[in-house]
Structure 1
Amino acid sequence: MTGSVLTGIDGSAQSEAAVRWAAEEADRRGAVLRILHAWPWLSTEYAEDSLAGGLRPAALRALADTAERIRAAHPGLSVETAVVGDDPADALVTAAKDRDLLVLGSRGLGGFSGLLVGSVGLAVAARTTVPLVLVRADGTSRATTDAPPRREVVVGVDGHQACDAVLDFAFTEAARRGARVRAVHGWDLVPVWTAAEWVPPQVDLATQEAGEQAALVMALASVRAAHPEVEVIAETRVGGAANALVAASAGADLVVVGRRDHRHHMLGVRLGPVAHAVIHHSPAPVAVVPHD
């Protein structure tokens, strides 16, 4: 059965980048691309309002223009469009439930300048039940002099509690791109040692490093067996998971992190600290994969 990729637009450069990225991904998957524009004032109930009456026709024209550009760039790709008169985050989360992937710009849709991820992007990342990719308007950092010699998907791995859903997403995406996987396990010393930049002489860092590397290799064993065609680099870095992933993201095609579905906070559902840091600071597109 044909899959589907959903993306949201709002006229920003970030959403334009997201639409292009989503179209390329839909093409790779042989999936349908659905482009959504959501805003409360786009509801048909405001059609006769003198202030809001022109918004819906303008949104429909913008969607039609975007769809035309995408079809021209990707002949044969099935493109659908929709306007929804609702809060953008609510509309995107609802519409994504029946899709395979959601793609958004990393800012826009209600975001503030100076933040890599807008308020709507963060809200959707914390709530969506399907994988979400956040794309920057300036693309990835593959053009830098530090770019790897071939395509690469970076995935964050907890060597002691690996998540099959996150790993399978990363390896499947790498296989689609003919890319290798860089599996990164960031670990840290006891916090007080790190803060003091001091390690007790009796602590054997080499032994700890070897143990973390062994745990990472074991965590990857099952997914490597399922994807023997994908080259893998298993890498451990001292300094914590977020720092390790951001450092590894330079030049990557995609960075993949997990988000626990049951993570709640007194103010509602939220992202974990690693996912939050990576989507704000990674120069590459970031996939947030919800899991149990």
Structure 2
Amino acid sequence: MPAPVIAGVDGSPESLAAAEWAAREAERRDRPLRLIHALDWHPARPDGEPVDATRRRSALRALRRAEERIHGAVPAAHVTDEQMEGPATAALLKAAERAELLVLGSRGLTGLAGFLVGSVALGVVGQATGPVVLVRAEEDAADEHLPAEGGGASTRTGHRDVVLALDVKDPCDEVIEFAFEAARLRRARLRAVHVWQSPPAFGLGPGDIALVDDPCRAEEWQGFVSAVLQVWRDKYSDVEVLQTVVREKPSTALVRAASGASLLVVGRHLTGRPAIVRTGPVTHAAIRHVGCPVAVVPHH
């Protein structure tokens, strides 16, 4: 059986939006959809004590609400569900091990005012060994598509760009392939964005003075981007690619590039130490401030 797309459901508006997005993605990928609700232990109880009936009923209601929303948006979706006992982060990480990708709301019911990403989502993103997509509560199907001729929302128009945060100094096949495949599935354009910054003058050696010439440096980065992407252009010849080189603060550039996108794809280095929660400053900024769904793809 093919690995499913899994959505974490906790009854929050974010998780309902995530479940619907996951259903659309499962349909695009021709994968089954599985909903997971984590039945967290109460802090005052010893680990392993059975969850009480009230919380099981609450979990069942959350799952049924998600299924109703999914079938309203994707009537043909094949959905199964599961209640998992244990701390939410650990349960979702375990579920992600058997998933094509895991989809979560960017903030759950326990999110604190002023924070855009809850602790569970951050914990999962920082430790998962497979792709995790974060979705905001306001996300709906029309947000993935270009506006209609009159400017109104539509699901009948083409998809908005998929944006890839590309680091040509450390290009990662897993991240690049995920972005190209996402663009192919949507018949969307892929926009690859590489961000660079001028080196400080005090860090230049005697033979490096040419690096101060920003136009020449930008052209050089464009060449690097073209070289990295060429093999993927050949493999995904049906995907239109736009490459952009920006001299700016990386987090600022990505937030701007993802404005109006259907999906932003960023990478995360695997640390080799599963207990370490690490996203990196650019990825962390993206999942906090970008408005479209963000796919975080781990890589070595």
Q: Taking structure 1 as the reference length, what is the TM-score of the superposition?
A: 0.87
Query: What's 1:237 paired with?
Result: 246
Measure the CA separation in 2 of the matches of 1:21 and 1:130.
Answer: 18
Alignment CA distance shift 1:264-1:237 (3 Å)? farther
Q: CA deviation at 1:178?
A: 0.7
Residue 290, structure 1, aligned to residue 298, structure 2: yes
CA contact (8 A) 1:116 1:280 kept: yes
Q: CA deviation at 1:58?
A: 2.4
Three-state SS of the structure 2 residue aligned to 1:121 is helix
Gaps of 5+ in 1: 194-199
After TM superposition, what 4+ stretches of structure 1 lie above 6 angstroms from structure 2? 141-145
Measure the CA separation in 2 of the matches of 1:151 and 1:143.
Answer: 5
Q: How many pairs were matched up?
A: 280
Q: Identity percentage over the alignment?
A: 43
Query: What's 1:275 paired with?
Result: 283
Equivalent residue letter for 1:135: V
Query: What's 1:260 paired with?
Result: 269
Measure the CA separation in 2 of the matches of 1:226 and 1:3.
Answer: 23
Query: What's 2:133 paired with?
Result: 133
Three-state SS of the structure 2 residue aligned to 1:208 is helix
Q: Deviations over 1:158-215 (max 9, x none)?
A: 122211110100000000001010000001112579xxxxxx9982111111111111
Residue 99, structure 1, aligned to residue 107, structure 2: no
Q: CA deviation at 1:252?
A: 0.2
Alignment CA distance shift 1:167-1:54 (3 Å)? same
Q: Deviations over 1:62-103 (max 9, x none)?
A: 313422442343233210111122111110000110110000
Equivalent residue runs for 1:1-20 within 5 Å: 1-20=1-20
Residue 225, structure 1, aligned to residue 234, structure 2: yes
Measure the CA separation in 2 of the matches of 1:107 and 1:33.
Answer: 21
Gaps of 5+ in 2: 203-208
Residue 180, structure 1, aligned to residue 193, structure 2: no
CA contact (8 A) 1:142 1:251 kept: no
Measure the CA separation in 1 of the matches of 2:48 and 2:61.
Answer: 16
Query: What's 1:170 paired with?
Result: 179
Measure the CA separation in 1 of the matches of 2:15 and 2:111.
Answer: 11
Alignment CA distance shift 1:37-1:191 (3 Å)? farther
CA contact (8 A) 1:185 1:216 kept: yes
Query: What's 2:218 paired with?
Result: 209
Please say which of residues 52-61 and 126-135 is displaced more in the overlay.
Answer: 52-61
Query: What's 1:73 paired with?
Result: 73
Please say which of residues 71-80 and 4-13 is displaced more in the overlay.
Answer: 71-80
Three-state SS of the structure 2 residue aligned to 1:176 is helix
Query: What's 2:62 paired with?
Result: 62
